[in-house]
Structure 1
Amino acid sequence: MHLIPEAFAQSTAGREGDAGRAWLDRLPGIVEELLGRWRCVRDGSVVHGQVGVVVPVRRAGGAPAVLKVSFPHPGNVHEPDAFAVWAGRGAVRLLERDDARFAMLLERAGTGSLAEVPDADEAMAAAGRLARRLAVPAPPGLPRLCERAGVWEAELRADAARGTLPDAVFDAALATVRELVPDQPDTLVHGDLHAANVLRGEREPWLAIDPKGFVGDPAYDAFTLLRSRAADLLTAPDLDAALLRRLAVFAEAAELDRERTVRWTQLRCVQAALWGRDHGDPEWLVGMYDHVAGLLTP
């Protein structure tokens, strides 16, 4: 079985350079060692995300699972911590972990995701209910969103000087950073709750994968969900009405304050628009961020 998909190897080497190529050389040995230690056998084709490979396996006794091994990346450090806290509540179960190798043995979920649900409101409601289940007290030691307030304000001020967005849009984003970001609950936040990171399950309708494991406001994840359904949002007969409705559906299902959800989404749209301009995002996507940021500005 070919272990490392070619597209994953190319993207990892291109992004990480020599360190990525060295890790790719070690990866087959890491996988084989973990399979032996955790008494698993391969059970399907290897798939991958941006920073890791996922190997379908069977455990001793035949139970299905997946072995996930990621490139040592700061964004993945607290993934197993989040899974451990949830203990299967709204997320796949963590079965084994090897933090030094950025590796986990996880419950195998289904193959369908929220990205395949045709009705956007249904998908947003399901994501909101899941976000509510994942909103539990956070353990110590996880990165806190409130700690980013100073950095975010400095970045916004620097970008405002470039004049890429109207002053009112920047002012609203800065107000959110000053007023909401420093004052957040001690709640575990997924941090990357997009539609493809919510898979169909058997013991629960939907199960989350690939968390970042932040501490803060669950409203932070509303933007990620909107972005992951951006293409069908643009085909809506009335984009503005569809956007506002989706945010309202998510906030109600997640039991979040609607105004707070809107303000977080406006801030993150401003950040995404600025990042996208500097890093080559498609023009249509940057334009959508601009539009949404303006729409959500009071």
Structure 2
Amino acid sequence: MIEIPERFTQSTIEREGEHGRAWVASLPALAGELLEQWNCRPAGPAGHGQVGIIVPVRSADGASAVLKISFPHPGNVHEPDAFAVWGGRGAVLLHQRDDARFAMLLEQAGDGTLVSLDDVDEAVAVAGQLARRLTVQAPPDLPRLRDQVARWEKDLLNGAERLPRPLPQRVVQAAVATVRELGRDQPDTLVHGDLHFGNVLRAEREPWLAIDPKGYVGDPAFDAITLVRSRFEDLLAADDPKAALLRRLAIFADAAELDSERVRRWVQARAVMAAQWGREHGDPAWLIQVTDRIAELLT
């Protein structure tokens, strides 16, 4: 029987309430059924991310893999679709999927992530190179970011009017302009959607492999925001924070073969959206302040 990490149990119940409690209670039996279905056995204790558990396993032929079971949520629906499109190109391989139970059997990568790299510039460049490899033609049934543009614009304008401690009007208007001008005409390319340093693992088949995609379709520059909200301390502590921030974005843009101005505009717009979302949903004050600062510096 799989033992569910207590920290994961508590965080899921805090976030999802009684539905989360019932789902966590069902996990040991569900994991057992999936292991039997895919002819695997546990090879170590269960780990976890924010919304799912990860169980190292061995298949009948002794090969290593991981069983991932995610909380049933619309944001987790298209993860296996993204893996299927990539087919191991820059991301872990998808071996099996059970969409009804939000479960996958995935290639096992290494333990290290881009977080472990001391050189932040190198980490950003690796992420950019990976973003370039993950930018492929998407199938028609994945969610298009351009379909969210009307909601983004409405939320930006409404948030500026009703949320506490709003960002300066010029900062919000710059984000609105980006959404209007870049949001409606996006390519039909698959983007990761959450390409932060912790979602890039060391591996043997390729040096680095991505995990935990959202399976969005749109502008590859959309992904850059996570690389400035991660390891941000050195940016804001620099003698010239704006120059440091723009330099990091330039490194990403060059590695990903993207237009640096387009990257800047998407990061600024997404920072404003993230700052407003944080005010709405109770993000820690320090995170809102950091996101505010990024949005202001890039305006």
> Is TM more than 0.5 here?
yes
Query: d(CA) in 1 for partners of 2:18 and 2:160?
Result: 36
Where structure 2 has 5 or more consecutive residues not aligned to the other structure, the ranges are none
Deviation at 1:262, TM superposition (A): 0.4
Query: Counterpart in 1 of 2:292?
Result: 290
Query: Counterpart in 1 of 2:116?
Result: 116
Deviation at 1:2, TM superposition (A): 5.3
Question: How is 1:173-252 mapped onto 2 (pairs within 5 angstroms)?
Answer: 173-252=175-254
Query: d(CA) in 1 for partners of 2:28 and 2:2?
Result: 10
Query: d(CA) in 2 for partners of 1:15 and 1:161?
Result: 27
What amino acid maps onto 1:82 in structure 2?
A: A
Where structure 1 has 5 or more consecutive residues not aligned to the other structure, the ranges are none
Question: How is 1:143-158 mapped onto 2 (pairs within 5 angstroms)?
Answer: 143-158=143-158
Query: Counterpart in 1 of 2:134?
Result: 134
Query: Counterpart in 2 of 1:51?
Result: 51
Judge which range, 287-296 or 199-208, deviates more. Answer: 287-296
What amino acid maps onto 1:123 in structure 2?
A: A
Contact 2:2 2:28 in 1 (8 A): no
Query: Counterpart in 1 of 2:125?
Result: 125
What amino acid maps onto 1:70 in structure 2?
A: S
Deviation at 1:236, TM superposition (A): 3.7
TM-score calculated relative to the size of structure 1: 0.96
The superposition leaves residues 34-56 of structure 1 with CA deviations (integer Å, 9 ceiling, x where unpaired) of 11111111111211011110000
What amino acid maps onto 1:53 in structure 2?
A: I
The superposition leaves residues 135-192 of structure 1 with CA deviations (integer Å, 9 ceiling, x where unpaired) of 0000121111101111011111112224611111111101011100100000001001
SS at match of 1:95: strand
Query: d(CA) in 1 for partners of 2:3 and 2:85?
Result: 30
SS at match of 1:161: helix
Query: d(CA) in 2 for partners of 1:233 and 1:47?
Result: 31
Q: Percent identity?
A: 66
* Pairs aligned (count): 297
Deviation at 1:226, TM superposition (A): 1.3
Judge which range, 84-93 or 9-18, deviates more. Answer: 9-18
1:88 aligned onto 2:78: no
Query: Counterpart in 2 of 1:5?
Result: 5
SS at match of 1:53: strand
Deviation at 1:237, TM superposition (A): 4.4
The superposition leaves residues 185-241 of structure 1 with CA deviations (integer Å, 9 ceiling, x where unpaired) of 000010011100000010111100000000000101100121122234334443222
Query: d(CA) in 2 for partners of 1:22 and 1:190?
Result: 30
Judge which range, 278-287 or 101-110, deviates more. Answer: 278-287
Query: d(CA) in 2 for partners of 1:37 and 1:237?
Result: 57
TM-score calculated relative to the size of structure 2: 0.96
Judge which range, 43-52 or 121-130, deviates more. Answer: 43-52
Question: How is 1:158-177 mapped onto 2 (pairs within 5 angstroms)?
Answer: 158-162=158-162, 164-177=166-179
